[in-house]
């Protein structure tokens, strides 16, 4: 896609992960002209498989999104690989409807009546040398995504804050060998007692680095002073930030998540935002949502977007026909 599309689309979906593709599927099946622009970097790309997703458990992420793109195209939706570099509202169309301009990094521009932003979130890992290279493999964050796969392994929790003690208890459900590295974070007496009561060993000595073994996996955690605590798997909490690069022109309001967990785009019912005509779905607004919940949010946003377009079109038709509009502002 390298040309400028002069037609006004019903919707552009920015981001083609679970949320964006399901939103587009609802729109395409409602005979809406819809283009999905997707950069092809879903959050779970480093993972081998999607877990906890009914009927599709164990599907590799790339396969899931391939099938999703195919389903959108089956109903006439277009899915293009590309990055949205700019998006902004345009002056209203002659019939008073909303319009937005979306510019891709290759220069293509699209005009749409509505936007669904489903760009996901970025995980910022704690700054521990040697950690990042294992992300999505032996470094995990979510017991529901990959907890079963690391059951019975020696697991280390690299604490990032008080909430990490809860993460430790969740992983303790999956293995009886858990070590909690406090890394200078707060852990009060009750927190310590709870972890100890569940057999979790607490290490307060600062962590220096994650040690990679000869086979490429994690061998352990090196502490200040040189001791290496043998671990095969590490769990961390990440800071989650909405992916809004290039979308600043939309002015979507963001807010902090509780407990310093990151940020999210503020949204209301079915992904509405304070920017009329722009909805959001998936991790960009619900950073804790897994694939199923993200897809469901996208589907709901897509369906509501269609419903609003239907209402706007009925209003416009009524105006054109010259009949009085009663009971609707």
Ligand X SMILES: Cc1cc2nc3c(=O)[nH]c(=O)nc-3n(C[C@H](O)[C@H](O)[C@H](O)COP(=O)(O)OP(=O)(O)OC[C@H]3O[C@@H](n4cnc5c(N)ncnc54)[C@H](O)[C@@H]3O)c2cc1C
Among 4, 46, 74, 260, the residue binding ligand X under the rule CB under 6 A is 46
38 binds ligand X (CB under 6 A): yes
- Region binding ligand X by CB under 6 A among candidate stretches 212-220, 252-260, 291-299, 321-329: 291-299
Q: Which of residues 140-159 bind ligand X (CB under 6 A)?
A: 145-146
Q: How far apart are CA 37 and CA 278, in angstroms?
A: 15
Contact with ligand X (CB under 6 A) among 283, 300, 302, 306: 283
Report CA torsion sign: 9, 34, 96, 319. positive
Cα 76 to Cα 27, 36, 70, 310: the distances in Å are 10, 11, 10, 19
Which residues contact residue 223 at a Cβ distance below 8 angstroms, ignoring those fewer than 6 apart? 203, 205, 206, 207, 208, 229
Q: How much is the CA Rg of the chain, to the nearest whole Å? A: 23
By rule CB under 6 A, what string of x and - marks binding of each residue 232-271 to ligand X? -----------x-xx-------------------------
Helix (H), strand (E) counts: the chain:
6, 19
The mark string for 110-139 relative to ligand X (x by CB under 6 A, - otherwise) is --------xxx--x------------x---
Q: Which of 32, 43, 264, 279 binds ligand X (CB under 6 A)?
A: 43
Residue 53 makes contact with ligand X by CB under 6 A: yes
Backbone angles phi, psi at 211, to 5 degrees: -100, 125
Residue closer to ligand X, measured from CB, 21 or 219? 21
Query: How far apart (Å, rounded) are the C-alpha atoms in residues 40 and 141?
Result: 22
Q: Name the nearest CA neighbour of 238 among 279, 288, 311, 189.
A: 288
Q: How far is the CB of 255 from ligand X (least distance, A)?
A: 17
* Shortest Å, Cβ 22 to ligand X: 8
- Alpha-carbon distance of 172 to 122, in angstroms, equals 26
Tokens of 266: 């503020």
Asked if residue 107 binds ligand X (CB under 6 A), the reply is no
165 vs 290, which CB is nearer to ligand X? 290
CB of 123 to ligand X, least distance (A): 5
Contact positions vs ligand X (CB under 6 A)? 14-20, 37-44, 46-47, 50-53, 83-84, 118-120, 123, 136, 145-146, 243, 245-246, 282-283, 289-292, 294
């Amino acid at each position: 896609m390298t040309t400028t599309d002069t037609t006004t689309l019903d919707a552009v979906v920015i981001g083609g992960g679970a949320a964006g593709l399901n939103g587009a599927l609802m729109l395409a099946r409602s005979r809406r002209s819809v283009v999905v622009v997707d950069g092809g970097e879903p959050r779970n790309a480093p993972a081998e498989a999607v877990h906890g997703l009914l009927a599709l458990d164990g599907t590799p992420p790339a396969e899931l999104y391939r099938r999703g793109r195919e389903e959108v195209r089956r109903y006439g939706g277009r899915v293009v690989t590309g990055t949205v570099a700019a998006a902004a509202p345009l002056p209203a169309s002659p019939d008073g409807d909303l319009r937005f301009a979306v510019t891709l990094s290759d220069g293509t521009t699209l005009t749409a009546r509505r936007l669904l932003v489903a760009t996901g979130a970025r995980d910022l890992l704690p700054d521990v040398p040697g950690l990042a290279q294992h992300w999505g493999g032996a470094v995990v964050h979510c017991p529901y995504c990959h907890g079963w796969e690391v059951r019975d392994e020696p697991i280390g929790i690299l604490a990032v804050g008080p909430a990490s003690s809860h993460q430790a208890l969740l992983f303790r459900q999956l293995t009886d060998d858990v070590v909690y590295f406090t890394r200078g974070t707060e852990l009060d007496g009750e927190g310590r007692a709870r972890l100890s009561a569940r057999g979790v060993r607490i290490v307060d000595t600062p962590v220096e680095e994650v040690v990679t073994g000869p086979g490429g996996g994690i061998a352990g955690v090196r502490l200040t002073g040189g001791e290496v605590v043998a671990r095969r798997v590490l769990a961390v909490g990440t800071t989650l930030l909405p992916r809004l690069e290039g979308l600043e022109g939309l002015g979507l309001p963001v807010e902090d998540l509780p407990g310093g967990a990151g940020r999210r785009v503020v949204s209301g019912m079915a992904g509405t935002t304070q920017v009329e005509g722009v909805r959001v779905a998936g991790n960009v607004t619900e950073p804790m949502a897994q694939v199923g919940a993200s897809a469901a949010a996208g589907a709901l946003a897509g369906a509501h977007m269609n419903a609003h377009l239907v209402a706007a079109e009925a209003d416009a038709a009524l105006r054109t026909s010259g009949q009085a509009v009663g009971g609707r502002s």
